[in-house]
Amino acid sequence: MAEIVIVPDAADAGALVADEIVRIVRANPETVLGLATGSTPLPVYEALRPRIAGVDVSRVRGFALDEYVGIDPAHPESYRSVITREVVEPLGLDPARIRVPNGSLEGIEHAGADYEAAIETAGGVDLQILGIGTDGHIGFNEPGSSFASLTRVKTLTAQTREDNARFFPSIDDVPMHCITQGLGTILRARHLVLLAFGEGKAAAVAGAVEGPLSASVPGSAIQLHPHATVVVDEAAASRLAHADYYRYTFANKPEWQGL
């Protein structure tokens, strides 16, 4: 099963994961990171800024989880823009080494296969950052997604479009489609780090880590991974049946094992 780490708050989670990222980049300057967008990973990126100073990141590569289809890459809410604004520029990464799925309508038929090939050429993702939706989705893999799915175009649910409407002038401006890494793609990363904060994520977290494997809860796919770490605050951990056990095991974990 995944390792569950319960911390007091999002800032502590960000610091914990940032320390692990710095550790692996120091050990391997050509580390490949899987980058998530949204509010959940922001504490990690914020904690990385002072920690990564002085570390050679010139050869670090990154792959974003997803992108809207048909959106101008220069649009402030395209995930290309978000990754550039929140990760690439603050951390001093090389923009040419950071990939985002191509959501252009031209060539969209093979954009998924192209992205899969790019990840494979890079040697695969070393550490994939993930968030989880209230319905258990990861990336844009909505309930019903196959555990074997690869990068592909998906239709966003009405709920997801409503959730994302706050970033756009109106819900009518939220794209109807996206291109997202599939669950099968995500599971190929060498280390998965899923973060969740707040009471609103508690049911999704419990379902993903303690519930049955189910396409109805895409996040439960992490149970299939040999090295998955779930970092949650107390509120997001509030529905976990074995929270005391998770606290005990992490408190007694050998330091050499890392995150």
pLDDT reported for residue 191: 98
Q: Looking at the domain assignment, is residue 143 inside a domain?
A: yes
pLDDT reported for residue 64: 98
Query: How far apart are the C-alpha atoms of 55 and 233, rounded to whole Å?
Result: 28
Q: Looking at the domain assignment, is residue 259 inside a domain?
A: no
In the chain, which stretches have pLDDT less than 70?
none
Burial 95-104 (b: 16+ CB within 10 A, else e): eebbbbbbbe
Nearest to 44, CA basis, from 81, 2, 7: 7
Q: Looking at the domain assignment, is residue 40 inside a domain?
A: yes
Element (H, E) at 96: none
Contact 29, 205 (CB under 8 A): no
Q: What is the number of domains present in the chain?
A: 1
Nearest to 82, CA basis, from 32, 52, 38, 43: 38
Report angle CA 178, 183, 188 to the nearest 5 degrees.
125
Q: Looking at the domain assignment, is residue 107 inside a domain?
A: yes
Nearest to 92, CA basis, from 126, 125, 53, 62: 53
pLDDT reported for residue 163: 84
Give the CATH number, domain containing residue 241.
3.40.50.1360
Q: Looking at the domain assignment, is residue 257 inside a domain?
A: no
Question: Domain limits at 55?
Answer: 3-251
Q: Looking at the domain assignment, is residue 13 inside a domain?
A: yes
Q: How many residues would you count in the chain?
A: 259
Q: Looking at the domain assignment, is residue 96 inside a domain?
A: yes
Q: Looking at the domain assignment, is residue 80 inside a domain?
A: yes
- The pTM of this model reads 0.95
Active site (catalytic) residues: 66, 135, 137, 142
Contact 228, 3 (CB under 8 A): yes
